[in-house]
Amino acid sequence: MMKPLKDVEPETAVTVREITGGADVKAHLEELGVTEGVKLVVVATEPVHVHSGPISLAVAGKEVIIARGWADKVYVEKEGETVPLLMLEDGNKGTVRSIEGGKDFEGFLSECGITKGSELAFLCHVPDRTLVFSAGGKEITLGEGQASKVFVVRDGKSFQINYLNDGEAATIERVVGGTHLQETFDKTGLNVGSEITLLRRESPTLTSKKGSYVLAKVEGQLITIGHGLAEKVLVE
């Protein structure tokens, strides 16, 4: 009988039979190596912070924001122990020891200044707000995690669009992500060279609900899958 991945007991080997949800869900899971037919071993189900949004880090003297789905794949050494990046607390420091997600994903993170051996400090959890932009004559909404993958240039400086102030405009320099993300952004008008203006930020409804994530091993690689995605992966 099939059941959601989130309900699988630790140290259990299962096979992915079905992934429910749309193309975005399947594309995200595919980046983790989770597709229908793949065999994986559930290592543990761990609690995460109250937050469910992206995180802010200090790396090489600058601040960067990375999406929760990207933080899932980064493991750091903290006080002699290797732990998922998501387990760091505000102010903790660590050294990147492992990036699980393949060479392309390592390339994406390197564009944000995060590579194996990088020293980083966990600054804070970022509220998963909705950012509303104007680009190409229309309004576009992005979550903080999605926005973190778009870099703009203004006055000769490159930074993530999350750091624009309300009413500020800049030119899109690059989009950091895979083909699916690039195509999605192209359809919305977020093209390299386009001007984009941050109109406003819309705050999410506050919640005290604490989630969890599944720590699993796929083809020898450790991955973490958030509670929401683990509900959409049916295994047996």
Mean predicted confidence (pLDDT) in 1-11:
91
Within 10 Å of residue 143's Cβ, how many Cβ atoms? 16
User: What is the tens place of the pLDDT at every residue in 162-194?
Assistant: 999 999 999 999 999 888 888 888 888 888 999
pLDDT at 211 (0 to 100): 62
If we measure between CA atoms, which residue out of 3, 35, 39, 13 comes closest to residue 234? Answer: 3
CA atoms lying within 13 Å on the CB side of residue 171: 8
Which pLDDT band, with edges at 50, 70 and 90, does 208 fall under? Answer: very low
pLDDT at 210 (0 to 100): 54
Please determine, for residue 226, whether its predicted confidence score (pLDDT) is greater than 70.
Answer: yes
pTM (2 d.p.): 0.69
Judged by DSSP in three states, 213 sits in strand
* Bridging pattern class, strands 195-202 and 169-175: antiparallel
pLDDT at 50 (0 to 100): 47
Within 10 Å of residue 214's Cβ, how many Cβ atoms? 24
Per-residue b or e along 73-101, where b marks 16 or more CB atoms closer than 10 Å to that residue's CB: bbbbebeeeebbbbbbeeebebebeebbb
pLDDT at 119 (0 to 100): 95
CATH of domain 3-48+215-235: 2.30.30.90
How is the chain split into domains, by residue range?
3-48+215-235, 55-125, 130-202
